[in-house]
Amino acid sequence: MAYFVRKIGISRWPDGQGFKFTTKEDLPADTIINEFKTTNNTLSIWHAENLDKAYELGVSFVSRMDCEQKFIRLIAIPFEELDTNFDLRHSPQDGDTAIKSFNQYHYDICKLTYGKLGKLGEIIARETSIQSNPCIIKIKVKEAINSIKLLLDKGEADSDLLGKYVKKELGISV
Amino acid sequence: MFSELVIAGMVAVTPISVENNLKKYEAQPIGLYADSIFKKTYIEELYSPLVSNSYNLVGSELSITSDISNKNINKYFIIFRNMVNELTIDFDEKHDYFSFLSNLRDNEEEYRAFLYESLNSGDLNVCNAISIFLSQKKYHFITADEENFIVSILRFGNLQMQEFALNAILNWDKVSDITGLKTIRLGNKYLQEDLEDFIQSKL
C-alpha cells in the first residue's frame, strides 16, 4: 500500500485521549499555522511505496536537522486519501534532503486553500487519534544519523546539504 | 438631566466592570496552574532558598509574588523575552540568546532567580527558548535548578511547553530524580510514551 509522508509535531495533534478530534473547526490555530507553512500555496509531501520506505524517508528528513532532537514523528497518509482530494504534482527538483536518491519521491500539494488545509488537517487528525496507528512513525534521530553516515561513506549523501546539528554529530565542520 | 444620570452611573460602575472584564484576559502564569497545596509546596520548596515568595489565595486560585526585582532579574527577564519574541525558528538566530543564557548561567544565584521568574511568567516563548537551550549537548552538565525548571514545566506547563521540556530531558545523560519523573502525566500520549521510554532506559 502506498502513502504520502510528512513530518509532524505530534503534540499539536489530537491523540484520541486527552485531546479528542471531532471536526476540522476544532483544530487549534497553532496547529494549522505551524504545521502547514505553505509557499506559493503549495506544501511538500513525499511518496512512499510502503511503511518501510516511509521510515527510510524519515532518515532523509533528519539529514536537514539544525537542532538537537531525540525523536521526530512522521505521518503516512494513504495514497488515495490525497490523490482523490488534492492537486498533487511530482517535483523532484524541489526535494532538498541531503540524500540525493530520496528527492525523486518529492511532491507538492498545489493550489491549497483554507478549505483544503482544513481537509488535510482533518485527515491527519483522524490518523493521530487512532490508537497504536502504524501510520504514525517514530524516528530515532541517533539511529537515523548513523544511517546518514553510511550513506555519506557510499557517496549517496551530500555533506553540504546536511543540517548543522547532523554535521556537528558527524564531526563535519559547520 | 437624563444623560447626566447615565454618565454619573457609568462613572460609578465602569471602573469595576472593566477591571473585572479585563481580568479574564490576563496571562495565566505557570504558578496559577498550581491549584493544590501539593503543587504550591512543590514550587515553594524548589525556589525557597533564594526567592522569598508570598502566596495569596484568591478564591480557589493561587498567585505567587516575589521580591526579586532588586536583583535585576526582572530586567534580565524582559531583555530575554524581547530577544526571543523577535526570533523565528532559525538556528542561527538562536546564537544571541544562547550566549545570553550562557553568561547568566555563570552567576548561580541570579540564574536561579531568572529561571524562577521565567517559569512563573508562564511565557511560552521564554520557557520554550530556555528548554531549547537546555537540550543542547554542550550544556549537558545540568544543574539542579535547571532540572527543577524542566521538571516543573513537565508537571505544570501546557502541551507546547511540555514538548520542548521533554525534548530537553530526553537529551540529557542523567536525571537525578528518575522516580519523580514516573509521577508526571503529560497531556499527550505520544509524549508520555517518550517519557516512559526514557525512564525505562535509565532504570
The per-residue pLDDT for B42 is 47
A72-99: per-residue pLDDT in tens?
999 999 999 999 889 999 999 888 899 9
Q: Which of A15, A67, A68 sits opposite B189 (nearest CB)?
A: A15
Please report which confidence band the pLDDT of residue B22 belongs to, taking 50, 70 and 90 as the band edges: low
Report whether A99 contacts A150 (CB < 8 A). no
The C-alpha cell that represents B201 in the structure block: 532506559
- Section B166-188 average pLDDT: 91
Q: Calculate the average pLDDT of chain A.
A: 92
pLDDT of amino acid B120? 87
Residue of A nearest to B170 (CA): A70
pLDDT tens-place string over residues B48-82: 444 433 333 233 233 334 444 455 777 888 888 88
What is the average per-residue pLDDT within B149-167?
91
Contact: B187, A18; criterion CB under 8 Å:
yes
Cβ atoms of B161 and B131 within 8 Å: the answer is yes
Tell which wins on pLDDT, B4 or A148. A148
Give the predicted TM-score (pTM) of the model: 0.76
Q: HEC states along B144-166?
A: HHHHHHHHHHHHHCCHHHHHHHH
Q: Is the pLDDT of residue B20 over 70?
A: no
- The neighbour count for residue A13, using CB atoms within 10 Å, is 26
Tell me, yes or no, if B187 comes closer than 8 A to chain A by beta carbon: yes
pLDDT of residue B76: 84
Chain A contact for B159 (CB, 8 A cutoff)? yes
**Chain A residues within an 8 Å CB radius of B135:** 67-69
Residue of B nearest to A131 (CA): B189
> Which of B132, B160, B188 minimises the CB distance to A67?
B132
pLDDT of residue B21: 64
**The pLDDT value given to residue B94:** 67
Tell me which range, A49-58, B10-19, B141-150, B156-165, is most confidently predicted by mean pLDDT.
A49-58
Cβ distance of B160 and A11 shorter than 8 Å = yes
Among A30, A66, A68, select the one facing B137 at the smallest CB separation: A68
Q: What mean pLDDT is predicted for residues A36-44?
A: 93
pLDDT of residue A34: 87
Q: Which residues of A touch B132 (CB under 8 A)?
A: 67
User: What's the pLDDT at B75?
Assistant: 81
Q: Any idea which of A1-5, B57-61, B177-181 has the lowest mean pLDDT?
A: B57-61
For A70, the 3-state DSSP assignment is: coil
Using alpha carbons, select from A157, A135, A132 the residue that is nearest to residue A6: A135
For chain A, what is the radius of gyration of the CA atoms?
16
CB pairs under 8 A between A and B: 49
Q: Please report the pLDDT score of residue B34 as a whole number.
A: 38
Helix (H, G, I), strand (E, B) or coil at B46: helix
ipTM of the complex: 0.83
Q: Which residues of B touch A132 (CB under 8 A)?
A: none
Query: A-chain residues within 8 Å CB-CB of B170?
Result: 70-71
* Interacting residues of B111 by C-beta distance below 8 A, sequence separation 6+: B104, B105, B145
Q: Give the tens place of pLDDT for each residue, A124-137.
A: 999 999 989 999 99
B25-44 confidence digits (pLDDT tens): 555 555 444 333 334 444 45
Chain A interface mutation, best of B92, B132, B140, B160, highest count of A Cβ atoms under 10 Å = B160
Residue B23: pLDDT above 80? Answer: no
pLDDT (tens digit per residue) in A107-126: 999 999 999 999 999 999 99
| pLDDT for B13 beyond 60 | no
Mean of pLDDT values over B9-18: 51
* Interface contact A19-B187, CB threshold 8 A: yes
Give the model's pLDDT for residue A16.
84
Cross-chain Cβ contact A11/B167 below 8 Å: no
- How high is the pLDDT of residue B62? 30
Given A11, A66, A68, which is nearest B191 (Cβ)?
A11
pLDDT band at A27 (very low <50, low <70, confident <90, very high): confident
At A151, the pLDDT band (50, 70, 90 cuts) reads very high
Nearest-Cα residue of chain B relative to residue A174: B92
DSSP helix/strand/coil, A128? helix
